[in-house]
């Protein structure tokens, strides 16, 4: 048998009619038909069960099936097999019912020829395949909708629900289809915002909005359904449950607020502690001094030494308090980011350090032009100020030189360098030096509390930049600072 | 350079250590002064606006803002409103550096506003300069 | 190197003085000083008021932070200028140091009554004059907090 032949099962009890069909099918050359004939429904059902044909030609007047019973039986047996109903009667009602009940076509035996029959069979098969494809597609869609956390809904032109599906319905405790037939004006009575949106949809508008239903938040996206001439015949919409996302955002927002509040508290605390600490410190300093002045004569060297040490210690304490204060202020996000010219800052620093530079025969040089950055004056000043000061302080050269320049500019940031010909820093300490009150040298060698670089780090990071160092003992030190570039169209964060 | 009459300074200060520091600073600067101390705003008002004789009228008042009982700016306002002491030079000497306080002080008639240095060294130098300026350079208003 | 003060703008001083010699001396003394300042000069009372009221197209010019005022001025007397300044709501907060030759008690009293912030008698001796100006600078420019301007310094 030809594998390409269309496998036709003819269920026809009248031999004469069967013969007619056989001959008609044999006539056609284009599409070979392989015909098998049975004379009763039961045989037909057996055949279908064992080897489903491509199409069934079903006579309505069978001994074991009256009217359309046979059609129903075949469909129950094999829903995918297309059925063409044959009958001797030209009965429109029956025809309509047959097609309604799933037959692909209805042919009147005396009124067809071989071409029509052949065509009817081919179309029946074709249509059935299309129907199948459509059905599968719908099934897939249905599965998707049923499993996606969305709500798909549609209404008629009066606002009565015609469709309500999707796993999103679970979130509001509704079964798919449960609210079909009910009016949205009842379902959402009291929720003016939703009703307003629905009205707009029914008036022909596409609307996107966020709504709240039964305590859950949804992104709603809907538009009008239109029929033939473009008249609105209902609305179709999809709701996506965004409750979790909204909750997460709110939680994040709350956390940020709390964090900000905590920071403020810490800052106030640090400020008032530092401030309050200064008062008794002042008394200690003052009276140590007075003691020294008034009783110097009566004190021996030891006594004077004690006082001297007290004085120095309170000096250190004072400086540490001030640096802690400065540090706490620097950590906060800058209020207003403006254009800052590092070249100007370095020039100002040069002026401010004038005396110190002269004393040490030191100089500050700027290499090339420094691009403007986005930041705030105070932090940029403190950054360059401390780096330059360090470059001069930790320096045994005859002519200490600090050079400031720009290393590179890319990705919206400028990397500056502050290079000195000083004593250098051993690589094993390159991280440690940024700690608060971290010192690498004995106090007799180099003075200072060690907070300078901590201040630089805090200031730079508050502006969104980074600082790092390249150095080796006796080989000078270069600090690198990256800061966001000032760009004309830049918007302060 | 000592003056031929001791200048009267009214210091408004509730911290006894700071009183000592201040007294000593003026002594040392060669300003022979009689230092009267008021410990809170109300005492100042009683001393200055009490309708008493002009012998109590100081040559200079050093006034803090954060005082117990009464805000220093309110004291300033009251003193300026009292004709007997309306021209007494009042130098605000206070920890506050707030713009609003500075503006208000000048507006109410403070002669100058100084933010009190927290550290001893700064405070000592400030007091030196105050003494030197007001008692050696400036001409104080006459008693009447 | 914590908290180094980098000043954003000079302190604006208005000297109201008609004696060119005194003007020159004052300018020199202030120029040598430690604090960055800019000295403007008005030679008479009328010019002084015009300057303060920012007339003559100076609407955006910075107001003086400190005024040094001589009492004996042509066109409008210094006492008059003092009164007008201390009555004007926009000008009265500016500290006015009366810097004048008169030692007369009535001038001193009157000046303080008109709310001058301070009265300083100008020494005749050159060195003493320079020293007085240096003192004024020490006090008013270094120690004192001058009233904030509109731009918030």
Distance between CA atoms of residues A433 and A386, nearest Å: 13
Is C33 or A412 the better-scoring residue by pLDDT? A412
* pLDDT score recorded for residue A288: 86
- Sequence spans of domains, chain A: 6-144, 148-241, 255-330, 338-492
Contact A289 B120 (CB under 8 A): yes
Q: Where are the alpha helices (DSSP H) in A230-376?
A: 243-295, 301-331, 342-352, 354-360
Of all residues in chain A, the one with the smallest CA distance to B122 is A282
Residues comprising chain B, all counted: 144
Residue B81 confidence (pLDDT) above 80: yes
- Chain C residues close to A336, C-beta within 8 Å: none
Burial of A208 (C-beta count, 10 Å sphere; 0-12/13-18/19+): exposed
> What 3-state DSSP class applies to B62?
strand
Contact A290 B15 (CB under 8 A): no
* pLDDT score recorded for residue A371: 93
Distance between CA atoms of residues A117 and A8, nearest Å: 12
ipTM (interface predicted TM): 0.88
Find all residues with CB under 8 Å of A380, minimum gap 6, and list them.
A340, A342, A345, A373, A459, A463, A483
Q: Within an 8 Å CB–CB cutoff, is residue C139 touching chain B?
A: yes
Residue A232 confidence (pLDDT) above 60: yes
Residue A308 confidence (pLDDT) above 70: yes
Distance between CA atoms of residues A15 and B94, nearest Å: 124
* pLDDT score recorded for residue A422: 92
Looking at residue C16, what DSSP letter applies? E
Listed by number, the residues of chain C in 29-68 with a beta carbon closer than 8 Å to a beta carbon of chain B are none
Are the beta carbons of B9 and B60 closer than 8 angstroms?
Answer: yes
Domain range A255-330, its CATH number among 1.20.120, 1.10.287, 1.20.950, 1.10.10: 1.10.287
Residue A215 confidence (pLDDT) above 50: yes
- Domain range A148-241, CATH architecture: 2-Layer Sandwich (3.30)
Mean pLDDT of chain A: 87
The pLDDT tens digits of the residues spanning A261-302 come to 887 787 778 777 877 888 888 899 889 888 888 888 898 998
* pLDDT score recorded for residue C47: 94
Domain A338-492 has CATH 3.30.565.10: yes
The β-bridge relationship of strands C96-100 and B7-12 is unpaired
Contact B107 C93 (CB under 8 A): yes
What is the greatest pairwise CA distance in chain B? 39
The pLDDT tens digits of the residues spanning A8-55 come to 999 998 898 888 888 888 876 676 888 899 988 998 899 999 989 999
The pLDDT-based confidence of A79 (bands split at 50, 70, 90) is confident
**pTM for the predicted model, two decimal places:** 0.56
Q: Within an 8 Å CB–CB cutoff, is residue C152 touching chain A?
A: no
Looking at residue A109, what DSSP letter applies? G
| Neighbour order of strands in the sheet with B33-38 | B33-38, B7-12, B60-63, B90-94, B112-115
Mean pLDDT value across residues C66-79: 94
Listed by number, the residues of chain A in 280-319 with a beta carbon closer than 8 Å to a beta carbon of chain C are 319
Candidates C2, C5, C6; nearest CB to A326: C2
Q: Which of A109-118, A328-337, B127-136 has the highest mean pLDDT?
A: B127-136
Looking at residue A440, what DSSP letter applies? S
Distance between CA atoms of residues B15 and B39, nearest Å: 8
Nearest to A394 by CA among A432, A433, A368: A433
Distance between CA atoms of residues A162 and A167, nearest Å: 17
Find all residues with CB under 8 Å of A308, minimum gap 6, and list them.
A292
- Give, rounded to a whole angstrom, the gap between the first and last alpha carbons of chain B: 25
Nearest to A451 by CA among A461, A439, A440: A439
Of all residues in chain A, the one with the smallest CA distance to C5 is A352
Q: What's the CATH fold of domain A6-144?
A: Rossmann fold (3.40.50)
């Amino acid at each position: 048998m030809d594998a390409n032949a269309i496998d036709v099962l003819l269920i026809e009890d009248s031999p004469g009619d069967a013969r007619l069909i056989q001959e008609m099918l044999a006539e056609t050359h284009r599409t070979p038909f392989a015909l098998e004939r049975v004379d009763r429904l039961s045989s037909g059902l057996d055949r279908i069960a064992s080897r489903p044909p491509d199409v069934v030609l079903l006579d309505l007047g069978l001994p074991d099936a009256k009217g359309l019973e046979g059609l129903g039986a075949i469909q129950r047996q094999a829903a995918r097999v297309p059925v063409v109903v044959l009958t001797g009667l030209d009965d429109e009602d029956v025809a309509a019912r047959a097609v309604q009940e799933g037959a692909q076509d209805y042919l009147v035996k005396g009124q067809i020829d071989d071409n029509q029959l052949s065509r009817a069979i081919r179309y029946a098969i074709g249509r059935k395949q299309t129907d199948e494809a459509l059905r599968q597609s719908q099934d897939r869609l249905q599965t998707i909708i049923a499993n996606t956390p969305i709500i798909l809904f549609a209404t008629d032109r009066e606002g009565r629900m015609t469709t309500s599906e999707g796993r999103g319905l679970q979130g509001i405790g509704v079964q798919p289809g449960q609210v079909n037939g009910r009016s949205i004006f009842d379902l959402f009575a009291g929720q003016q915002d939703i009703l307003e949106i629905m009205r707009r949809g029914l008036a022909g508008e596409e609307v996107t909005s966020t709504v709240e239903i039964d305590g859950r938040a949804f992104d709603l996206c809907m538009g009008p359904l239109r029929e033939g001439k473009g008249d609105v015949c209902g609305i179709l919409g999809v709701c996506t449950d965004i409750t979790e996302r909204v909750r997460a955002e709110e939680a994040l927002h709350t956390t940020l607020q709390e964090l900000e509040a905590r920071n403020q508290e810490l800052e106030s605390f640090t400020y008032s502690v530092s401030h309050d600490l200064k008062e008794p410190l002042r008394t200690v300093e003052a009276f140590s001094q007075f003691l020294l002045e008034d009783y110097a004569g009566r004190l021996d060297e030891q006594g004077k030494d004690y006082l001297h040490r007290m004085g120095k210690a309170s000096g250190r304490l004072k400086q540490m308090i001030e640096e802690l204060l400065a540090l706490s202020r620097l950590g906060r996000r800058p209020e207003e980011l403006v254009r800052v010219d590092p070249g100007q800052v370095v020039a100002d620093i040069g002026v401010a350090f004038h005396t110190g530079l002269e004393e040490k025969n030191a100089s500050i040089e700027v290499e090339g032009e420094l691009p403007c950055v986005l930041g705030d004056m105070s932090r940029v000043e403190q950054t360059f100020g401390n780096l330059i000061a360090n470059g001069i302080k930790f320096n045994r050269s005859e002519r200490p030189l600090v050079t400031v320049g720009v290393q590179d500019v890319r990705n919206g940031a400028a990397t500056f360098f502050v290079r000195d010909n000083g004593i250098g820093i051993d690589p094993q300490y390159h991280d440690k030096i940024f700690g608060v009150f971290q010192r690498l040298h004995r106090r007799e060698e180099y003075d200072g509390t060690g907070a300078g670089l901590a201040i630089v780090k805090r200031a730079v990071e508050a502006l969104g930049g980074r600082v790092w160092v390249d150095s080796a003992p006796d080989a000078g030190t270069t600090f690198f600072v990256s800061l966001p570039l000032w760009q004309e169209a830049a918007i302060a964060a | 350079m000592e003056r031929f009459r001791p200048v009267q300074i009214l210091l408004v200060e509730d911290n006894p250590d700071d009183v000592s520091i201040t007294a000593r600073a003026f002594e040392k600067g060669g300003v022979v002064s009689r230092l009267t101390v008021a410990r809170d705003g109300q005492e100042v008002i009683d001393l200055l606006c009490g309708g008493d004789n002009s012998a109590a009228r100081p040559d200079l008042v050093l006034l803090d803002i954060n005082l117990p009982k009464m805000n220093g700016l309110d004291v300033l306002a009251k003193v300026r409103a009292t004709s007997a002491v309306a021209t007494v030079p009042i130098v605000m000497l206070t920890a506050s550096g707030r713009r609003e306080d500075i503006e208000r002080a000048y507006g109410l008639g403070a002669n100058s506003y100084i933010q009190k240095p927290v550290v001893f060294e700064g405070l000592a130098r400030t007091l030196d300069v105050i003494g030197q300026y007001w008692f050696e350079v400036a001409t104080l208003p006459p008693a009447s | 190197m914590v908290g180094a003060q980098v000043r954003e703008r000079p302190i604006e001083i208005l000297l109201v003085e008609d004696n060119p010699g005194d003007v020159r001396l004052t300018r020199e003394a202030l120029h040598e000083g430690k604090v960055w300042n800019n000295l403007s000069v008005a030679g008479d009372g009328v010019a002084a008021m015009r300057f303060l009221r920012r007339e003559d197209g100076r609407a955006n010019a910075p107001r003086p932070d400190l005024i040094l005022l001589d009492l004996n001025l042509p066109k409008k007397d210094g006492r008059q200028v003092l009164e007008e300044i201390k009555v004007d709501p926009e000008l009265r907060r500016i500290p006015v140091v009366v810097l004048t030759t008169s030692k007369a008690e009535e001038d001193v009293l009157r000046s303080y009554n008109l709310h001058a912030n301070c009265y300083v008698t100008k020494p005749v001796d050159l060195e003493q004059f320079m020293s007085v100006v240096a003192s004024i600078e020490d006090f008013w420019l270094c120690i004192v907090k001058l009233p904030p301007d509109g731009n918030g310094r």
